[in-house]
Amino acid sequence: MDEPGTDEQRVRRRGGRSWAQGGPDAWKPFWAASSRDRLPWRSTLVLTVIVLGGTAFAQHGQLGQRVPLDAFGRSLLLLGQAFLLLRLRHPVLVAWATAASTLVYVGAGFPYGPVFLTVAVGCFAAIVAGHRHAAWSAIGMLWAGHVVIAHWLYPWLPPSGDHPASWSQELAVAAWVLAVLAASELARVRREQWARERAERKAAEKRRSDEERMRIARELHDVLAHSISVINVQAGVGLALLDADPEQARTALTTIKAASKEALGEVRQVLDTLRAPGEAPRAPAPGLDRLSELVEQARSAGLTVDTVTEGVPVPLPPGVDLAAFRIIQEALTNVVRHSESRTARVVLGYPPRRLVLRIDDAGPATGADAGGSGNGLVGMRERTAALGGTIEAGPRPGGGFRVEAVIPLSGEPGTGPAGAPKESL
């Protein structure tokens, strides 16, 4: 019963690739069987018909010059084809066996013809499989044996009354040998090139997959860490004031509701990119235009944030705008989690071709485990490095903690504004 679906669908169900999809298996000569076949019997059967039929036709033009094809001659031809059935499993053995059987055939005086195609296919398979020296040796042995037979042993070998072959004929045979070797080497080089291209495509796909996974992980971490920190603080306030100041507790619960709603919206946006990769997001990615919302959220968590702009603001590329927002968001989240200070200062600097972000808090650290994963600083470094910038995070002079990031606004990723390599700290 025929398999349902189009040819393309049937090929995909079987795990293969169609001709239209290209690749090393898209087109093959009739003698190059697929490596998935147990034995290349189809191509060998076609080759057997060609060799037997072509030899039978060729002997009519060599009557009186060569021995007529008999049962022994046909057995030698069939023996060579039987060896070709093993060319994918044992290419070295097949190269030598086909060369030897062809040499016996020639020495027995049978007609010239497509018999040499048998050894050509055997040596071709060996070279493509990477056994170059074995194939070269086998075909060299055949040529040398033919020279010895045609110029020295012919008086003692059939047919009787034979004459030595002309050296021009030997040059023609040598040219044929070189053509077979050249075609085989070309096929081998092309096959290795296809293998490298496949490996490079797989590596590139894996790299893109890893980068996308890391990007989504950073987005989810930044969104959830900030929102849950606000929710945690406000939940503590609500519990403390539930009986003493119900109105203030209500305000805390309202803040929790707003923060959780925003977090769910941003998480949904990230997950939408997973469900429909390549499509435009339904909502724009956050940027510095939402810095006031970030400051308000921090204020609802009990943190007073002062923002300062140094220089003339310039339009930012989308990637830089998102990274700047996330870096500030993560830095303020860390202040809420890890610092006893209830104030923070955010400085946005716009020197030529750069964006400078500096987030300071007066400290000191709480000294308690705030439940962080430790991925926040790693994510900030990855974001900055991906844009060719640098970042420093650590204690500042006079106490407290400082996060300072410098992101170039021009140049290729991984380089500074002037093209000089940068290292993330």
End position of a domain, from candidates 203, 227, 242: 203
Which residues on adjacent β-strands are paired with residue 304?
A: 343
Q: Is residue 363 part of a domain?
A: yes
- Please check whether residues 424 and 294 belong to one and the same domain: yes
Q: What is the pLDDT of residue 274?
A: 60
Q: Is residue 19 part of a domain?
A: yes
pTM of the complete model: 0.46
Q: Is residue 196 part of a domain?
A: yes
Q: What is the pLDDT of residue 226?
A: 65
Which residues on adjacent β-strands are paired with residue 306?
A: 345
d(C-alpha 51, C-alpha 83), whole Å: 14
Q: What is the pLDDT of residue 10?
A: 47
**Cβ neighbour number for residue 240 with a 10 Å cutoff:** 13
- CA 257 distance to own-chain centroid: 44
Query: What's the distance, Cα to Cα, between the start and end of the chain in Å?
Result: 65
Q: Is residue 1 part of a domain?
A: no
Q: Is residue 119 part of a domain?
A: yes
d(C-alpha 10, C-alpha 2), whole Å: 10
The strands making up 304-310's β-sheet, listed across from edge to edge, are 304-310, 343-349, 354-361, 401-408, 390-395
Q: Do 327 and 288 form a contact (C-beta atoms < 8 A)? A: no
Q: Do 412 and 388 form a contact (C-beta atoms < 8 A)? A: yes
> What does DSSP assign to residue 154?
G
- Please check whether residues 185 and 38 belong to one and the same domain: yes
Q: Is residue 117 part of a domain?
A: yes
- What is the phi/psi pair of residue 371, to 5°? 85, 15
Q: What is the pLDDT of residue 22?
A: 41
| Nearby residues of 341 by Cβ (< 8 Å), 6 or more positions away | 335, 361, 362, 363, 364, 400
* Alpha helices (H) in 5-114, listed in sequence order: 7-13, 41-58, 71-84, 91-107
- Please check whether residues 65 and 183 belong to one and the same domain: yes
Regions of the chain with pLDDT less than 70 = 1-37, 222-223, 225-227, 229-230, 233-234, 237, 266, 269-284, 366-375, 411-425
- Please check whether residues 50 and 174 belong to one and the same domain: yes
Q: HSE (CB half, 13 Å, CA atoms) of 248?
A: 13
| Nearby residues of 320 by Cβ (< 8 Å), 6 or more positions away | 355, 387, 407, 409
- Please check whether residues 196 and 308 belong to one and the same domain: no
Q: Which domain holds residue 356?
A: 288-425
Tokens, residue 345: 């200062």
The SS3 call for residue 243 is: coil
- Please check whether residues 132 and 19 belong to one and the same domain: yes
CATH number, residue 361:
3.30.565.10
Q: Is residue 239 part of a domain?
A: no
The SS3 call for residue 138 is: helix
- Please check whether residues 174 and 316 belong to one and the same domain: no
Q: What is the pLDDT of residue 421?
A: 36
- Please check whether residues 22 and 135 belong to one and the same domain: yes
Which residues on adjacent β-strands are paired with residue 406?
A: 356, 390
End position of a domain, from candidates 160, 187, 203: 203
Q: Is residue 240 part of a domain?
A: no
Q: Which amino acid is at 56?
A: A
> What does DSSP assign to residue 320?
H
* Alpha helices (H) in 276-300, listed in sequence order: 291-300
End position of a domain, from candidates 175, 203, 231: 203
- Please check whether residues 183 and 300 belong to one and the same domain: no
Q: Which amino acid is at 329?
A: Q
Q: What is the pLDDT of residue 176?
A: 76
**Cβ neighbour number for residue 89 with a 10 Å cutoff:** 12
- Please check whether residues 19 and 165 belong to one and the same domain: yes
Domain count across the chain: 2
